[in-house]
């Protein structure tokens, strides 16, 4: 009787089906282009808003701020899908396991920071909305403080993730991806620091703070998008 049951019991389905993992990765690949396209269009048509000067988060202020709020939330959910899909893919991939935990974890932190930035609205900076000072001395309230509390770890995570995965790419003998990841991290950090100095009202950089931030964010999203597509292509069908 026992032998009959064992013979007729179908095998359990694999826990990480490639198609399910692939869908998570593709969802993550959509996040960056959608996020960048949305803030570019919103910044171009918003009255009194200067994309070269003002941060992306400031688009959440004012009458149509819900657009950028939704942009943060949608990108956060899609990036969280990417983090889960990447963890699944790297955990089952052959070869050295380096980066299979910290890489997806850092991308997950970036996803959570996007969700937090969407829930909690930033303070005005660099004179937007009109009539506000260049820089507030203190936070206007808890939401603005929490916006930065979520954002800062997220920016640190998206700067560190390419370095962590560069080590993995090197271990897997993929030098082009290793070099690309390191260069992306360096370019992100450089432009992000310049943007921060601009938002802190550095006289030589204040007029370009928004441009530097958009450059940094676009670099980070480009790396994530290409990573998601590359990982998806590497899955077994």
Residue 91 is predicted with a pLDDT of 92
Helices (H) and strands (E) in the chain, counts: 7, 0
> What does the pLDDT read at residue 12?
42
> CA 27 to CA 37: how far, in whole Å?
16
Task: Give, in order, the Cα–Cα distances in Å from 205 to each of 25, 81, 124, 129.
Answer: 37, 36, 17, 19
Residue 127: left (phi > 0), alpha (psi -120 to 50), or beta?
Answer: left
Task: Return the pLDDT at 95.
Answer: 83
What is the mean pLDDT, run by run of 10 residues, along the chain of 237 residues? 40 60 97 98 96 98 95 98 96 87 98 98 96 94 97 98 97 97 98 98 97 98 98 84
CA distances from 73 to 118, 144, 152 (A): 5, 17, 17
- Is this model's pTM higher than 0.85 or not? yes
Tokens for 158?
A: 């998206």
- Burial of residue 141 (CB within 10 Å: 0-12, 13-18, 19+) is exposed
3-class DSSP state of 62? coil
SS (H, E, C) 17-46: CHHHHHHHHHHHHHHHHHHHHHHHHHHHHC
- Pick the closest to residue 87 from 110, 107, 115 (CA basis): 107
Looking at residue 13, its pLDDT comes to 40
Yes or no: say if 87 and 165 are a contact pair by the CB < 8 Å rule. no
Neighbouring CB atoms inside 10 A of 202's CB total: 14
DSSP conformation class of 201: T
Backbone region of residue 130 per phi and psi (left: phi > 0; alpha: psi in -120 to 50; beta: other values): beta
- The tokens for 42 are 């919103």
């Amino acid at each position: 009787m026992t032998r009959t049951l064992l013979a007729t019991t179908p095998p359990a389905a694999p826990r990480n089906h490639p198609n399910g993992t692939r869908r998570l990765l593709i969802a993550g690949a959509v996040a960056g282009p959608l996020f960048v396209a949305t803030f570019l269009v919103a910044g171009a048509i918003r009255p009194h808003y200067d994309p070269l000067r003002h941060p992306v988060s400031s688009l959440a202020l004012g009458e149509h701020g819900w657009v950028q709020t939704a942009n943060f939330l949608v990108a956060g959910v899609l990036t969280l899908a990417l983090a889960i899909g990447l963890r699944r893919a790297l955990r089952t991939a052959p070869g050295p396991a380096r980066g299979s935990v910290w890489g997806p974890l850092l991308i997950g932190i970036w996803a959570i920071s996007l969700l937090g930035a969407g829930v909690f609205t930033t303070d005005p900076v660099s004179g937007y909305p009109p009539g506000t000072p260049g820089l507030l001395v203190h936070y206007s309230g808890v939401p603005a403080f929490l916006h930065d509390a979520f954002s800062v770890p997220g920016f640190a995570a998206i700067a560190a993730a390419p370095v962590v995965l560069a080590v993995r790419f090197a271990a897997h003998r993929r030098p082009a991806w290793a070099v690309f990841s390191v260069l992306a991290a360096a370019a992100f950090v450089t432009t992000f620091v310049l943007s921060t100095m601009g938002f802190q009202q550095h006289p030589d950089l204040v007029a370009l703070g928004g441009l530097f931030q958009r450059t940094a964010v676009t670099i980070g999203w480009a790396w994530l998008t290409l990573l998601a597509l590359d990982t998806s292509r590497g899955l077994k069908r």
